[in-house]
Amino acid sequence: METTTFIKACAALDGAILDLLSGGWEEASRRRAHEIAVALRQSARSMGRRDSESDLRAVESLLSLSSREVLPIRCEVEHRLFEFLGLLKNPTVTRSA
């Protein structure tokens, strides 16, 4: 996957996550966002984008949570998802060890 295509796919993930959050963590939306995150992580791995792969693995984990699991920690999950999406949109951010 080219960098431009990867960026467009990240935008698709962003949209899927926004749909999920606006819809109350519905299962169909959660599954769609999770599938996009998995595909993007696999692409990041094949492209050698380790930071993106790591961020997407975290997004996958958050998107694996059921609506019942998310309910008591929804604000924190939303915050983390937006944080990781920001990192994916701006891959030039320097990361500390």
- pLDDT tens for residues 66-93? 999 999 999 999 999 999 999 888 765 5
Q: Does residue 57 fall inside a structural domain?
A: yes
More confident residue, 18 or 97: 18
CA-based nearest residue to 65, from 27, 94, 37: 27
Distance CA 47, CA 66 (A): 30
Q: Does residue 8 fall inside a structural domain?
A: yes
Residue 96 confidence (pLDDT) above 80:
no
Distance CA 53, CA 82 (A): 16
Q: Does residue 97 fall inside a structural domain?
A: no
Q: Does residue 31 fall inside a structural domain?
A: yes
Q: Does residue 94 fall inside a structural domain?
A: no
Q: Does residue 61 fall inside a structural domain?
A: yes
- Please tell me the predicted confidence (pLDDT) of residue 88: 87
**Count of domains for the chain:** 1
- pLDDT tens for residues 25-77? 999 999 999 999 999 999 999 999 999 999 999 999 999 999 999 999 999 99
Burial pattern 66-77, b for ≥16 Cβ within 10 A else e, equals eeeebeeeeeeb
- Please tell me the predicted confidence (pLDDT) of residue 68: 94
User: 54 is in which domain, residue-wise?
Assistant: 3-89
- Please tell me the predicted confidence (pLDDT) of residue 7: 85
Q: Does residue 84 fall inside a structural domain?
A: yes
